[in-house]
Amino acid sequence: MLNGLQFGVMLFLMSAGLTLVFGVMGLINLAHGSLYMIGAFAAAAVAAATGSFVLALMASLAAAALAGALIELTIIRRLYDRDHLDQVLATFALILIFSEGTRWMFGSFPLFLDVPPMLAGPVTLPGGIEYPAYRLSIIVIGLLVAVGMFALINRTRVGIRIRAGEADREMIAALGVDIAKLYTFVFALGAALAGFAGALVGAIQSVQVGMGEPVLILAFVVIVIGGIGSIKGAFVGALLVGITDTMGRFLLPQIFALFLEPSAAVSVGSALASMLIYILMAGVLVFRPRGLYGVA
Amino acid sequence: MTDVVLSTERLFKSFGALKATNDVSLDLRKGEIHALIGPNGAGKSTLIQQITGHLASDSGTVRLMDEDLIGAGPAERARRGLGRTFQISSLAMEHTVLQNAVLGALGQRGNVMSFFKPVMKDAQLVSAARAALVQVGLAELSATRTADLSHGQRRQLEVAVALTLKPKAFLMDEPMAGLGLEGAQQMIGLLTELRKEAPILLIEHDMDAVFALADRISVLVYGEVIATGTPEEIKVNPEIRRAYLGDEVPA
Amino acid sequence: MTRESWINVAALAVLLGVPLWALMADEPFIITLATRAAIFALAGVGLNLALGTGGLVSLGHAAFFGIGGYAMGILASHAQSYALIMEAPFLIEGTKSMPVIWLVAMVTSALAALAIGALSLRTSGVYFIMITLAFGQMIYYFAISWPAYGGEDGLSIYVRNEFPGLNTLVPMQFFCLCFAILCLALLLMNAIHKSAFGLALSAARQNETRVLSVGMKPFHLRLVAFVISGAVTGLAGALFADLNRFVSPTMLSWQMSGEIIIFIIIGGVGRLFGPVIGAMIFILLEHTLGGLSEFWHVYLGALLLGIVLFAKGGVIGALAGREKAHD
């Protein structure tokens, strides 16, 4: 269950950036998974070089934000006025370039990022359950980021501009807000969140080329469920997906074991579990084609 | 009674606290042009959307040829005989003029699920399309790409496509919009002829056109019809003059 | 003939000519490459109906490619091992007959497209893109975790399936079969594009309100297009599995979906022969650049980026200019 929360929180980090970019700029960005990967690789490289986990995390934020800003300035900028197909293709091309580029720089074998020794052990929670400290800290960090995002969107000037931009792009330009800078900022912010998520997860799973895309696709599911453009939707959607997936994988084989023989139960159960979140997505779509909190 | 082609009865639509349509009852009779005028924000668009089926009313009915249109979406209403032109030209830009007209004729005939016969060689559809184009004066431009047409020509094409539907009533949303003097004259001439095919519910801002064309005028203000009458009656109505016409129209 | 028609003829000539030359020069591998190109082209021809004509950006079309492939894999493997697929309520045996396999592949893909389309087409724009991607992934993960047919490792079919009158193991004969099917598909798509349905579908892409106002429902048009598109791509999948005598979940991956779209874009989206030219160029790049560097995807990405930013019409667009309207 806690794993589900952790998974959900990590998905939120991915989805928040994606949904913001879509909400404010109207751009669908497939390369978001690559930014996740870049963050993870940067963290692994820095951790290997300096041994400091904190530095590694900072490196991941910086590297991803930088990469994000860079591609925004050179390529993404040209895509805002294009139709979605063009955006999909161009960002897909970026995935290819980034993935192969990373493979060229770091080779095909996965890198490893170690959990900082301070957080390596288990923590005893109320109720007597033991849970890895590291995963717990991810949950905490994720929740802090979520709070931070709410604060940013709802309480700061930048946040107001972002929300206005979502509602009416031409209007805020007319009001004199520097759109170009705002867009670059939003894009880089989303990238940084993705990179950060990548680094955090890199310590639990390995760091390898192609790690970003499955997460990206899950982030899409989250956004579809939560509604494009809504941070709240991303949060709720992410937790929903994270928990459903984890619990599903755990519970479904057990449920099937009640009336099927063990090996069949495991195979049917796990096959169904892997489809569960998509079924959830389909279900949400039937009733709310714009997602739970969609701003249309 | 049998003279009425299109009618709305006691239409209501609110958005939260805003009453966009407040007890609107209108009718459109055979052979007439009934103009609907009103200041911006009066609720004309909302009313149109309810008549065409894009928006569901809170209460009230819309009838076409005495049939209640409730539950029918825009496509269904078009099939039942409601022909419409748009304020902002809504055409397939990559297609030619003829192709757009053929699309209309195809819609009228039904049977779009035909996969093997080349549609532009279908004699019946093409001749129906060409006839409509002749009527609006676009026959020479039939092979032109719609994106290459001038604004006025696109407005004409809009009318042509509506014609191919052989509608029972026309709903025209600001057909004069963006037309210069000459274009407006042409359109006025076209609409005058058109009313013989089917009556027109005309939403317009261009007062010259309205007074030239309309048999009856209804005035919509803040979602309510405050008056309906002939152009002369409306012109001299003191309330309307004060509220809307101001001194645009001499007494 | 228009310039585009000349290009189309040239493309066919190359696609047929290269393997003929290879036959005489005794280079069977090149025939296999050409077959690969023809099959990829077919997959693209399927998607192009939905994408190019209909404007539906389906990022999950690999689902149909894979379903077609697995249809072949399941039928053939059961025939191979003489095991029944199902005993009750219907008796279903495996088969190694290509025509039957193709029929099953197309029908199952069409059904899947019906289901996915019915759900996805209720949305539009970005939602549609993300949802088709997600459904594609769903089927991918399902195939990986279903152990009966190889799971992640895939399924091998030892002997190529049978087609009456041909020895399908001979590369040239199998190529000719695939080429013939491709030509049939192109004829079909050409007819559809010029038909009433094609006109309406294309109009729906350009202006949905217009289509509604003439009494047609875009949803129905798009769903039909999506189903036909899925069926054709599914057929390509079955052929692909036969070519490699191997089915695996990779056929269902998002990368595969992306590749199919890439063929179409390189050649020219919405053009009849776009997928054909695009697939040929892709195979060429894969073979030549791939031989030079194992990172050739970078160049592919750069090419794609260049096309999207600067040459939207693909190769055909660049060579033949704007599409000629119908007469």
In order along its 327 residues, chain C shows pLDDT tens digits of 788 888 888 899 999 888 888 888 888 888 999 999 999 999 999 999 999 999 999 999 999 999 999 998 888 888 777 777 665 556 677 777 888 889 999 999 999 999 999 988 988 887 888 889 889 988 998 888 777 777 788 888 877 788 887 877 888 888 999 999 999 999 999 999 999 999 999 999 999 999 999 999 999 999 999 999 999 999 999 999 999 988 989 999 988 999 999 989 999 888 899 999 999 999 998 888 877 777 788 888 888 888 888 888 888 888 887 766 554
| B38-47, B154-163, C235-244, C256-265, range with the lowest pLDDT | B38-47
Please answer yes or no on whether B111 and C213 come within 8 Å at the CB atom: no
Q: A237-246, pLDDT tens digit by residue?
A: 888 888 888 8
Q: Do C214 and B116 touch (CB under 8 A)?
A: no
pLDDT range class, residue A296, cuts 50, 70, 90: very low
Among C195, C211, C215, whose Cβ lies nearest the Cβ of B114? C195
For chain A, say whether C131 makes contact (Cβ under 8 Å). yes
Inspect the interface and report whether the beta carbons of C298 and A104 lie closer than 8 Å. Answer: yes
Give the model's pLDDT for residue C240: 94
> pLDDT value at position C48?
94
Contacts of C133 in chain A (CB under 8 A): 217, 220
> Which range, of A13-17, A114-118, B112-116, averages the lowest pLDDT?
A114-118
How sure is the predictor about A173, in pLDDT bands with cuts at 50, 70 and 90? Answer: low
Residue B8 and residue B62 in contact, taking contact as beta carbons nearer than 8 Å: yes
Closest chain A residue to C293, measured at CA = A104
Q: Please give the model's pTM, rounded to 2 decimal places.
A: 0.89
Residues B235-247: pLDDT tens digits?
888 777 776 655 4
Q: Is residue C325 in some structural domain?
A: no
Could you tell me if A89 and C265 are in contact, meaning their C-beta atoms sit under 8 angstroms apart? yes
For residue C327, being part of any structural domain is answered with: no
- The CA distance from A17 to B149, in Å, is 42
Look at the alpha carbons of A179, A180, A186, A187 in this order and tell me if their dihedral is positive or negative.
positive
Question: Residue B234: pLDDT band by 50, 70, 90 thresholds?
Answer: confident
pLDDT given for residue A7 in this prediction? 83
Q: How far apart are CA B109 and CA B103, in angstroms?
A: 10
CA angle C239, C244, C247 (to 5 degrees): 80
Q: Residue A120's pLDDT is what? A: 66
Phi, psi (5° rounding) for residue C216?
-115, 155
Contact A289 C129 (CB under 8 A): no
What does the alpha-carbon distance between residue C231 and residue C64 come to, in Å, rounded to a whole number? 7
User: Per-residue pLDDT tens for B90-147?
Assistant: 899 999 999 999 999 999 888 888 888 898 898 999 999 999 999 888 888 988 899 9
- Residue A117: pLDDT band (50, 70, 90) is low
C-chain residues within 8 Å CB-CB of A275?
138, 141-142
C301 with A96: Cβ contact below 8 A: yes
CB-closest option in A84, A95, A104 to C125: A84
Question: What's the domain range around C13?
Answer: 3-320
Residue C326 located in a structural domain: no
| C-beta of residue A146 within 8 angstroms of C-beta of residue A12 | yes
Residue C43's φ and ψ, nearest 5 degrees, are: -60, -45
Which subunits sit against A, judged by 3+ Cβ pairs under 8 A?
Answer: C
Highest mean pLDDT among A142-146, A185-189, C194-198: C194-198
Q: What is the CATH number of the domain that holds C57?
A: 1.10.3470
The answer to whether residues C202 and C53 touch, using CB atoms and an 8 Å cutoff, is yes
Residue A194 reports pLDDT greater than 80: yes
Q: Which among C131, C300, C309 has CB closest to A78? A: C309
**pLDDT tens-digit series, residues A60-86:** 888 888 888 888 888 877 888 888 888
User: A268: nearest CA in chain C?
Assistant: C146
Residue C281: what pLDDT? Answer: 92
Beta bridge partners of B18: B15
Which domains are seen in chain B, by residue range? Answer: 1-81+167-251 (3.40.50.300), 91-166 (no CATH)
pLDDT confidence of residue A126: 66
pLDDT at A118 over 70: no
Minimal Cβ distance to C134: which of A220, A270, A274: A220
- Residue entry with tokens 């000519």: C17
Residue range A134-153: mean pLDDT, rounded: 79
**What are the structural domain ranges in chain A?**
2-114+132-287
Minimal CA–CA distance to C177: which of C155, C157, C162?
C162
The mean pLDDT of chain A is 80
Number of domains in chain C: 1
Q: Cβ contact (<8 Å) for A22 and C126?
A: yes
Provide the strand spans (E) within chain B. Answer: 4-15, 18-29, 33-37, 59-64, 67-68, 82-85, 169-173, 200-203, 216-221, 224-229
State the nearest Cα–Cα gap between C212 and chain B, in angstroms: 5
Asked if A275 lies within 8 A of C261 by C-beta distance, the reply is no
Residue of B nearest to C322 (CA): B94
Strand partners, A123: A131
Asked if the C-beta of C137 comes within 8 angstroms of chain A's C-beta atoms, the answer is yes
C256 at A interface, C-beta within 8 A: no
| pLDDT in the model for residue C124 | 81
